[in-house]
Amino acid sequence: MTDGNPDSDGLVVAAFGNRGRLETAEGETLPYLLKGRRLKAVCGDRVQWKQPPQSHEALITDILSRENALQRFDPKGRVEIIAANLTQLMVVLAPTPEPDLFLADRFLCAATLMDCNPVVVCNKTDLQHNDALRAALDEYRQLGYVVVQTCAEPGGNVADLTSLLTGHTSMLVGQSGVGKSSLINALVGDAAAAVGALSDASAEGKHTTSATIMHRLADGTRLIDSPGVREFVPNISASSEVQLGFPEIVALADRCRFANCQHLREPDCAVKQATADGDLSPRRYASYKRMKNITASGSV
């Protein structure tokens, strides 16, 4: 700071390389540029910024330390931070596209490990749910996850989702086409134009979200839209942490013979026993083993 003015507080609502948009303390949205190559901002970052003379862009001078961050390994095995300072991760599923429950499990695990509420949102209630999806939702409920049903079509029901959002910074994640942006449009109202304008028309002529963008409800509640993914490899520092994302495994682990049991090949493992006895879902146990594998190798 050379001009003697203190820098202002801001919130990054969209980040693209070293540029993006920030929201000022007064609620105005400005384009920004990052100062220097060292700073890397992501959606949800709290920042300090100033307005250089003769520039239409705010200059971000500092990024405040993050309370948490959603991180993944990119296809090249590098850690990528997707968004910061989240309090809730809404994993959106739908009857179409065909649900990838392993992907949902990985997001739920990441949410727990980053200390943010995991929520399962099943969208498109107007469409027929097949038995596999219904069973998966029941399973998530039995495991203690909050599961809400929504319909983002005009006049559809988003009330259960709305009541979970108040006061939170929630990010919607999931496969492409499950209806994340449609839900945000149904919830935010005025954001509809912004979402449309920030979407790319893909080859099929569908609007698919290409960036992680934060929206705000009238009461200040924050909602983050994100591009759909086929894969998500959470950045889990130690493979032994994977089980923390599986509450049913945590609940059994005390009964394994070894305190550091990984529930893979060890003898007298209560988790393997429970799976064999039909007390633990074979799908979830398979999901646990897959996640152990991908976090060990950094790829799927």
Positions 30 through 59 that interact with ligand GTP (CB under 6 A): none
How far is residue 22's CA from residue 44's CA, in Å, rounded to a whole number?
9
Structural contact between residues 244 and 113, judged by C-beta atoms closer than 8 angstroms: yes
Positions 62 through 121 that interact with Mg ion (CB under 5 A): none
Residue 292 as a binder of Zn ion (CB under 5 A): the answer is no
Q: Is 201 helix (H, G, I), strand (E, B) or coil?
A: strand
Smallest distance, Å, CB 107 to Zn ion? 24
Residue 175 as a binder of Mg ion (CB under 5 A): the answer is no
How far is residue 217's CA from residue 212's CA, in Å, rounded to a whole number?
17
Structural contact between residues 147 and 101, judged by C-beta atoms closer than 8 angstroms: no
Residue 43 as a binder of Zn ion (CB under 5 A): the answer is no
Residue of 71, 150, 170, 209 interacting with Mg ion (CB under 5 A): 209
Nearer of residues 10 and 174 to ligand GTP, judged by Cβ: 174
Residue of 170, 181, 262, 295 interacting with Mg ion (CB under 5 A): 181
Structural contact between residues 263 and 269, judged by C-beta atoms closer than 8 angstroms: yes
Q: Which does 212 bind (CB under 5 to 8 A by kind): Mg ion, ligand GTP, Zn ion, none?
A: none
Binding segment (CB under 5 A) for Mg ion, from list 45-53, 97-105, 113-121, 202-210? 202-210
Structural contact between residues 263 and 272, judged by C-beta atoms closer than 8 angstroms: yes
Smallest distance, Å, CB 153 to ligand GTP? 5
Binding segment (CB under 5 A) for Zn ion, from list 87-95, 100-108, 243-251, 266-274? 266-274
Residue 276 as a binder of ligand GTP (CB under 6 A): the answer is no
Comparing CA positions, the residue from 179, 100, 160 lying closest to residue 132 is 100
Q: Which does 263 bind (CB under 5 to 8 A by kind): Zn ion, ligand GTP, Mg ion, none?
A: Zn ion
Q: Is 105 helix (H, G, I), strand (E, B) or coil?
A: helix
Contacts of 64 (CB under 8 A, 6+ apart): 45, 46, 47, 48
How far is residue 175's CA from residue 64's CA, in Å, rounded to a whole number?
31
Q: Is 222 helix (H, G, I), strand (E, B) or coil?
A: strand
Which residues form the interface with ligand GTP (CB under 6 A)?
123-124, 126-127, 151-153, 156, 176-182, 207-209, 227-228
Binding site for Zn ion (CB under 5 A): 256, 261, 263, 269, 271
